[in-house]
Amino acid sequence: MNGEGLYLLEPAGKTFKLQFKVLKVYAVEKTPHQEMMLVELEGFGKALVIDNFIQSTEADEAFYHESLVHPAMALHPDPVRVLIIGGGEGATLREVLKHGTVREAVMVDIDPVVVEFSKKYLEYMHQGSFNDPRSRVLIMDGLRYVKEAPSDYFDVAIMDLTDPYAGDVAKPLYSEEFYRDVKRVLKRDGVMVTQAGSSYFYTSEYDYVLGNIGRVYRYTAEYNIWIPSFGLNVNFIVASDTYDPYSLTARDFDERLATRGVKTRFINGERYRGLLAIGALRPLH
């Protein structure tokens, strides 16, 4: 640490760490699963930190949440029922509910304290999405939910999960079996998207996820975006048996969002096409 004060030292890739100056600590809570903090970070504003890892900040959370949600939502011509696994802070739910086509959004999170913490402290993130009459929040294991949920029900499924290299608890949520269970709860023309960690720093773990999805769905597309507060590229994989993500033009992307009343800070049709063109970053050596 340089100078005086409180600093957050966060492992980013396998070989380096990030240092953030903490200006203020607003709240700290522990659960059987994890420890949560709401802090003010110099240069990034309010930040949700879980087990000393930054989950989102005011300055750049839109890069992540808009890139996760809107490509999959725009790919489907009429997303009415949407499933979210994870996403405890409510920002993914917030973005889903922007689409005027949505009548029901089911969010499944394993940790009730995270959800209550978010409701209490993260209004700037969820923006009231938990109280939207279209929302249904379930506290349970996502693995169990997709095994017990009705078949052919959802139009879009969004996985806002911990990284695939976060330990033994995370890995089943990126398995081929899990993706087959997700596919079962989707309608035949359903669309799925997941965040998939960093292809650059964790290439083998990312390829494990990509391979499992590729064995389940006809069409897959990879894209990634650099998240400043994470210090690394975050990858996303979108998949469907009916809709090819590469067939969605920039114009169609923008028109679908506009028709549904969606306003974004970052993602648009041109950026969507650009992200697809970049694909996944891997080490060059």
User: Of all residues in the chain, what percent are helix, strand and coil, respectively (each to 5)?
Assistant: 35, 30, 35
DSSP 44: T
Q: Are 175 and 153 in contact (CB under 8 A)?
A: no
Buried b (16+ CB within 10 A) or exposed e, 114-123: bbebbbebbe
Residue ranges for the known binding site for S-methyl-5'-thioadenosine are 34, 109, 141-142
pLDDT of res. 2 = 43
pLDDT per residue as tens, the chain (285 positions) = 344 689 998 887 778 889 999 999 999 998 777 889 999 999 999 999 988 889 999 999 999 999 999 999 999 999 999 999 999 999 999 999 999 999 999 999 998 888 999 999 999 999 999 999 999 999 999 999 999 999 999 999 999 998 888 777 788 999 999 999 999 999 999 999 999 999 999 999 999 999 999 999 999 999 999 999 999 999 999 999 999 999 999 999 999 999 999 999 999 999 999 999 999 999 987
Q: Which two tokens stand for residue 135?
A: 């929302």
Residue 244 annotated in active site:
no
Residue ranges for the known binding site for spermidine are 65, 89
CATH of 6-57, one of 3.30.70.141, 2.60.120.620, 1.10.8.60, 2.30.140.10: 2.30.140.10
Between CA 98 and CA 57 the distance in angstroms is 20
Task: Provide the residue ranges of all domains of the chain, joining segments of one domain with +.
Answer: 6-57, 61-278
Phi, psi dihedral angles at 142 (to 5 degrees): -60, -35
Residue ranges for the known binding site are 34, 65, 89, 109, 141-142
What's the whole-model pTM score? 0.94
Task: Note the CATH number of domain 61-278.
Answer: 3.40.50.150
Catalytic residue among 160, 168, 181, 189: 160
